[in-house]
Amino acid sequence: MRVITNTDACVGCGLCAFTVPEVFDQEQEHGTVVLLDPEPPHELHQDVWEAARSCPGEAISVKDF
């Protein structure tokens, strides 16, 4: 799995960082998404898919390979 985040589209809601803190964080000033792990381990794939599906900015995309 490869994760890509678009910081321009991010609305800073913190949903991703709240639900999958192993993969997403937020910078401190405006709460914009910070991608910690673009190739997360297998056990997190489901959570990452769900974060992408839930992101209100549609700022997270995921490619499976």
Partner 1 sequence: MTPQDVPSYPTERTCPFSPPEELATYREHEPIRRMRYPDGHIGWLVTSHSLVRQLLSDPRFSARSEFKRAPVARPGVEPFFGVPALPGWVLDLDPPEHTRIRQQLTGKFTARRMRELRPRLDRIVADLLDGMERHGGPVDLVENFTMPLSSLTICELLGVPYSEREEFQRDSKVLFGLNSTADDASAAMDRLYELLRGVAKSGGQQDGLLRTLAEDGTLDAEEITGIGAMMLSGGHGSTSSAMALGTFALLAHPDQLAKFTADPDLVDNALEELLRYVTIFHFGVPRSPLEDLEFGGQFLKAGESITVALPSANRDPEWFKEAPDQLDIERNTSGHLAFGHGIHQCTGQNLVRMEMRAALPALFQRFPRLSLAIPAAEVRIYTDTSPVFGVYELPVTW
Binding footprint of ligand SF4 on the chain (CB under 6 A): 5, 10-16, 24, 33, 55-57, 59-60
Q: How far is the CB of 39 from ligand SF4 (least distance, A)?
A: 17
User: Which residue's CB is nearer to partner 1, number 30 or number 42?
Assistant: 30
- Determine if 5 is a binding residue for partner 1 (CB under 8 A): no
- Determine if 18 is a binding residue for partner 1 (CB under 8 A): yes
Look at residues 5, 3, 34, 41 and name the one whose alpha carbon lies nearest to residue 17. 34
- For residue 30, count CB atoms less than 10 angstroms from its CB and return exposed for 0-12, middle for 13-18, buried for 19 or more: exposed
Looking at residue 30, what DSSP letter applies?
Answer: T
